[in-house]
Every structure is written in structure tokens, then in C-alpha cells.
Structure 1
Amino acid sequence: MRRPAGLAALAVVLSIGLSGCGDGEKKDYAIPTSLCGVPVDPQLLDPLLPPGKKIFVEEGHYAKGVPREGCSVIIDGDVWLSVYGEWRKAGFTALDAAKDHVVGGGGFNTTPNGDIASWYRGAATAFSCRDKEWGAYSTVAEAVERDGRKANEEALKKFIAPYSKALAEHLPCRDAS
């Protein structure tokens, strides 16, 4: 009995499609629903994280001339994503934040209204947020490239805007926008 050609082709396509689904290609951990105490949409975070077995989110406070805090997403012992925010002077922009985090500068993409700046492995925003000393707050998400895995600039841009909006709700801003 002869099998229809369509079934044979489907079997080949399925075997090719499933060949990349080995044990090292899946996420055996739950995607976080918050980072740095800020709620996140796991569907926006998922494309930024690699396959692996164990996930850990480490929070920290950093010093870089301005008050800065953030967290790192660690999978199987390696940092894969860092998200942090910094208090800034009034008028600080997303592009200013990007320039602060890219060694050598250049290669930036900005949205038409300038609310997001991105580069090959990161994205940044800045928004008005007055407190006693500062006038703005910037947020940066940076992915690590290793083991042949490239950062996903489009996914970083999709992630940073809602994350920053949720973060603004947790800050003591007198005029968050």
C-alpha cells in the first residue's frame, strides 16, 4: 500500500521541527511573575531567557554616582538578564540612559517619540519622577550573550515599556508619567 506524498512530507517536517527539542532546549523552571518587586508579564519575559533547569532572581543595590537598584536573572548559575533603575536629574532621556550603558556608544535605535532607546542587547526608558532630590527615573534591561545565544532587541523593547510603567507605580514619584 502506498502512502500519500503529503503524509510523508508531514513526517519529515515534524521530525525536523522536533529535533531541536532535546533536554538542553527546554525551560525546566517557571518564568518569574515579578522582577525587583515589580510585576512582569511572563509572556514578555519568556523570550529573553534561555533554556535551563534552575532560575534565581538576585536583587541588589548598586552605586554608580546615582542611587541605583535592580536585579539579575540567573539561570543554571549564569546571569542572563539584568534589570535596573536609577534616579536621574530632570530632563534625562531614554537615549541618555542607553548611552550610559553601552561601552563605546553608538548603534542606538529609538522609538519615534523617544520613550524607548534600544541597542543590540538592551533597552532603556526614562520618565519624569520627582522626589526630594531627583527629577527623573531611568530603567534599563540588558541581556547577556553567551553560548551562541544572541540577545533579542525586539523582545527587550516590548518588555521595557510595561516594566517601566509598573515600576513607576511603585516609586515615590510626585508626578510619574
Structure 2
Amino acid sequence: MNHHRKKMQRKIISILAASLPLSFLTGCSADEKNRNYTIPRSLCGIKVVSDELTAFLPPGEKIKVRKEIRSWITTCKVVVDDTLILTTTHEWLPKGRTTTYFASGQTLEDINFSAEGGRFRYSGNEGFGKTQKCVDEVRGQELYAALQASGSKHMDSDAMKHLIISYTKEVEKSPDCTETLQ
């Protein structure tokens, strides 16, 4: 009986070992899609680190990036295969507001993480930042930036932290900041 038991164990192990690579290969190829579009290096004129943005972009065939300007608000919408994946927003607010105030007007979610003393607020798929150099003294306003990947299935607060910090610093170098200051 002991010999029969060992023989059965060997047979089960060999069946499992043989089926493991097959299930691994079919699992990857059946469920995985590719990105057949180029990852943008900028979003409506604002430079982004492609590696930081990539995590929030899904597989797909086509990507479209379009800019919209409404009074004091500039948005940039990133659409992959007709699905809105990411929206950026630049908005001028009265001086003295906070990033928490700005975020509360943009999202219904709790934004639990912060960096640089609250200058940046972020979650797994949203980030909000206050520029330091974009101040319109005549109108008494300051510029804020938001990245909202509400159409993305990816949730990564650390990646969003890096993305919103680098993005906000690029907004400070952009015409959205400098043209209003002249």
C-alpha cells in the first residue's frame, strides 16, 4: 500500500508539473492586451515623465489628448479607445486657499495622503498640487493643478505622489503660469 501511495503521489505531481506551464502561458496570453499607442511626453503642453504616467494608462489601440479652456480653468482630457482615462486641471483660486480646499471642489473621494506640508494631496488615482511660483498679484490668485485618473483601474498612491509633484513643477514652467503673470 505504501508503494501504491508513492506511485499515486508521483503521478499527481507529474500531472501538476506538466499543466502548470500551460496554464501560466494561456493565462498571460488570453488576458493580456498591449498598448498600441505612444505614451504622451506631455499633456496639453505640460511635460510629464512617461514612466510615471504609464502606470495609469490602460492597454488600447488609440490615445487622444485634448485641451479645453473655460475662463480661469484649463483642462486636458486623455481618452484611450473612447474611454476617458485621465483629466488634468489647472485652476486659479483666490490667494490664501489650500490644496485641500482645491481638492474638495474637484473630487468626492477622501484624499488621505499629503506631501510637503500639505502642498500636495493625493490618493491611489488622484493628485492635487499648489504651485509656488504662479501668483497673479493683480487678481489676487494662485494656480493649482490636478491629475485625476478616474478612468484608470490602476491604484498606486506612491506613483500618484511622484506624478503630481513632477507635474505641478512643470505647470510652474508653463504658459499657464507665466502668461497670466505679465
Smaller-chain TM-score range? 0.7 to 0.9
Q: For residues 64-86 of structure 1, what are the alpha-carbon distances to aligned partners after superposition, in whole Å with 9 as ceiling and x for unaligned?
A: xxx10021110001100001110
Structure ID, larger Rg? 2
TM-score by length of 2: 0.75
1:165 equivalent in structure 2: 169
2:125 equivalent in structure 1: 121
1:31 equivalent in structure 2: 39
Where structure 1 has 5 or more consecutive residues not aligned to the other structure, the ranges are: none
Quick one: structure 1 residues 160 and 16, their matched pair in 2 at CA, closer, same or farther if it must change by over 3 Å? same
RMSD: 3.0
Residue 144 of structure 1: how far off its partner (Å): 1.9
CA distance in 1, matches of 2:76, 2:56: 14
Contact 1:144 1:151 in 2 (8 A): no
Q: For residues 111-130 of structure 1, what are the alpha-carbon distances to aligned partners after superposition, in whole Å with 9 as ceiling and x for unaligned?
A: 25212111343110012322
TM-score by length of 1: 0.77
Picking from 67, 72, 77, the partner of 2:77 is: 72
Residue 135 of structure 1: how far off its partner (Å): 3.0
Q: Give the share of equivalent positions with the same residue, in percent.
A: 23
Contact 1:139 1:164 in 2 (8 A): yes
Secondary structure in 1 matching 2:129: strand
1:86 correspondence with 2:91: yes
Secondary structure in 2 matching 1:53: coil
Where structure 2 has 5 or more consecutive residues not aligned to the other structure, the ranges are: 1-12
